Structure 1
Amino acid sequence: MSAVATPRPRSSDTPVTSSTSAAAPSPDARRPALDWRIRFALLSLIWGFSFLLIKVGTQAYPPLQVTLGRMVFGTAVLAAVIAVKRERLPHGAGTWCRLAIAAFFLNALPFSLFSYAELTIPSTLAGICNATTPLWGMALSLVALSEDRPTRRRVAGLGIGFLGVLTVLGAWQGFSGQDPAGTAMALIASLSYAVGWIYVRRTLSGTGSSNLSMAGAQLFLGTVQLAVVTPLFTSFPTSFPVLPLLAVVALGATGTGFAFLLQYGLVTEVGPTTATLVTYFIPVVATAAGVLLLGERLTWNTPVGALIVLTGAALTQSRWTGARGSSGRSEAPGAGRTRSLRAVARRGSHS
């Protein structure tokens, strides 16, 4: 869900793997049944509604159990697809260790923080906080990625974005009406996504494994992490209310597993730049769902602040708009496919 920021393309990021360099089938043979615009809209709805599902799930189950449930069902979906396609799992202890770290920052930690945050803040606010991930990513990349250089437009976007956050929170009235701890957890979750994608970009390029198997392994490792931690802090449920249980199942199978497959296909078909524009629609859907279905209160500063946040986030990513990488060279055909792990690892993103 993680509406989240996508690692920006670099023409030399990843060598073309055997799966992408093999002879491709004819366009007619591989044309998806649904137009990419329909799948784009569906992905926006799924990730936007994820915040509502978190809110419903935490009404009956502890946040860690909600997160573990979504990871279990999300991993099951990817495992089934990997088995059907007979994908080979990643090899090498080093790769698995790095995937475990990526799973912590991109899945286990942010998913848990969003679940805890929604105990005390509206799902609308959580969805808007999720949209700050590109801002965190831009700020961190200036420090962590030597090829990223600040420009006036990107620095302005960073400032505008965080001004939007202050607007959403009503800073001029002392942040009244918002729980500081819950809001902080949601913002830290978004920061965790940014840390995760920078880590993936620096350490998991060119492993030789398919993006699908890498992401499936990452979700599996995140599930293991939560399976170890959750029993230490929660007790086994004594009852299983139907609606919250269905919310957790949908959050995992649809919002984590199926949503990944949708974005994986979009990145392959239309490229990472277009596919990750979904980030900017997630808070809109999350806000509409929270207000219309959960009856959450919406004041004027929430949508206005969200618009300012999205404007700032768009400006921070403007350097990468278009079909050229950071080097200014046109990317080779298929280069977007080889980066799809980095483009979708966040949502796995997204919350």
Structure 2
Amino acid sequence: MKKTAWLAFCFLGLVWGSNFIFVKWAAEYITPAQITLLRVVFGFLPVFLFALLRGELRWSHARHAHHFVVMALLATALYYFAFAKGTALLPSSIAGMLSGAIPLFTFVCAFLFLRDEPVTVAKVVGVGLGFLGVLLIARPWSAGGEIDIAGVVWMIAGAFSVGCSFVYARKFVSPLKLPAAALTTYQIGIAMLLLFMVIPVEGVGAVFADSRAWIGLVIGLGLCGTGLAYVAYYHIVENLGAVAASSVTYIPPVVALVIGVMFVGETIQLLGYLAMILILAGVALLQFGARPRSTSSKVDADASRPLIPCEKK
């Protein structure tokens, strides 16, 4: 099973790294909000079937519905919308680089709201390097307007939403000891219902006029990047452990960069490459600083959001 887990590891890095170009293609035809809706709709089915086949769905879980609603907002609806909005405003490679900063915001949120996060020199340096990388990407001092600051802000908002979801999951959801697949099913399913309530569907069919756009959105972003990605993540955790699974965070920024530069023709300045190195180095320091406490392989907050790579037990 470990061989299939490593295959799942590679699959996860590739699909999460390619998500950004799929968003860019779809954004030419529909709004970021509609992209978010379709992503959740087509991502829900694999997760639901996975949980159903494992027999992990229970009517008794309904008494925790208020927690599922909060997670649906923080870790799915708001997070996906903010990243879709940011990606639509930025080159896909830049958006992919900024997604690598999610662990930084997770640590900050845990430090601010949980108050039980030990601060070490390695963690402080890691956060500093990571945010320096984000600053180099945004370059607010630049008068040329090469990078849309609003896009960067949206990406940061998405990362912060994920960070808050991690804190909420650890404080309120993890103690419930519910199956990870069930939690994810409830989270995405509720998010889907909430999005249907607030997002207009008029004009959403425009994306299906371009085969590249709708295949990327439905199969790449929804079915694979959301639904099967969750299934793959749990398979990795069960067979390789949470620490190994968390290291997948290093792959998507690199994949997004390669796709953007080599296949789409986006231009990245030297500072952009340096920024990505700083972000990944900061994440590495955070992970190594937390590793003594990450000996358990059980799914904790990852049950609610598998993109969170810096798990602090």
What whole-Å deviation, never above 9, does each CA across 1:242-272 have from its counterpart, x for those lacking one?
A: 2211111121100000011111011111111
Residues 1-351 of structure 1 mapped to structure 2, 5 A cutoff: 31=1, 34-89=3-58, 91-174=60-143, 176-231=145-200, 235-237=202-204, 239=206, 240-241=208-209, 242-250=211-219, 251-322=221-292, 324-325=293-294, 335-339=296-300, 342-348=301-307
Alignment partner, residue 14 of structure 1: none
Distance 1:271 1:91, change over 3 A: same
CA-CA distance at 1:129 after TM superposition: 1.3
CA RMSD of aligned residues (A): 2.0
Moved over 4 A (4+): 347-350
Task: Considering fraction of residues, name the structure with more helix.
Answer: 2
CA distance in 1, matches of 2:279, 2:144: 17
- The normalised TM-score by structure 1 is 0.81
3-state DSSP of counterpart to 1:118: helix
Change (3 A) 1:238 1:275: closer
1:123-169 deviation digits (Å, cap 9, x = unpaired)? 11111111111111112222212321211111111111111111222
What is the TM-score with the length of structure 2 in the denominator?
Answer: 0.91
Q: How many residues end up aligned between the 2 structures? A: 306
Distance 1:245 1:110 in 2: 21
User: Do the aligned residues in 2 keep the contact of 1:46 with 1:255 (CA within 8 Å)?
Assistant: yes
CA–CA distance in structure 1, aligned partners of residues 70 and 158 of structure 2: 15
Which residue is equivalent to 1:4?
none
Contact 2:23 2:217 in 1 (8 A): yes
Q: Post-superposition shift, 1:78?
A: 1.1
Counterpart CA distance in 1 for 2:59 and 2:124 is 38
In the alignment, the residues of structure 1 paired with residue 282 and residue 144 of structure 2 have an alpha-carbon distance, to the nearest angstrom, of 21
Worse overlay, 169-178 or 311-320? 169-178
Cα separation, partners in 2 of 1:63 and 1:172, compared to 1, 3 Å: closer
Unmatched segments (≥5 aa) in structure 2:
none
CA deviation digits over 1:269-289, x for unaligned, max 9? 111111110111110011111
Distance 1:175 1:157 in 2: 29
Percent identity between the two aligned chains = 26
- Determine the C-alpha separation between the residues in 2 that align with 1:84 and 1:72: 19
Give the letter for the 2:212 counterpart. Answer: L
Alpha carbons of structure 1 residues 206 and 142: separation in structure 2 relative to 1, 3 Å: closer
CA contact (8 A) 1:40 1:266 kept: yes
Q: Distance in 1 between matches of 2:53 and 2:105?
A: 37
In structure 1, stretches of 5+ residues that fail to align are 1-30, 326-330
Is the CA contact 1:75–1:219 (under 8 Å) kept in the aligned structure 2? Answer: yes
CA offsets 1:209-252 (integer angstroms, 9 cap, x no match): 31111111111011111111112xx5243542122111111211
Q: Measure, in 1, the Cα distance between the counterparts of 2:42 and 2:233.
A: 18
- Matched AA of 1:265: H
8 Å CA contact 2:102, 2:308 repeated in 1: no
Deviation at 1:45, TM superposition (A): 0.5
How far apart are residue 177 of structure 1 and its match?
0.3
The structural deviation recorded for 1:90 is: 6.0
**Alpha-carbon shift at residue 82 of structure 1 (Å):** 2.3
For residues 273-322 of structure 1, what are the alpha-carbon distances to aligned partners after superposition, in whole Å with 9 as ceiling and x for unaligned?
11110111110011111122222111111111110011112212322225
CA contact (8 A) 1:107 1:347 kept: no
> 1:17 is matched with which residue?
none
CA distance in 2, matches of 1:161, 1:135: 7
Cα contact 1:117–1:183 (8 A) shared by 2: yes
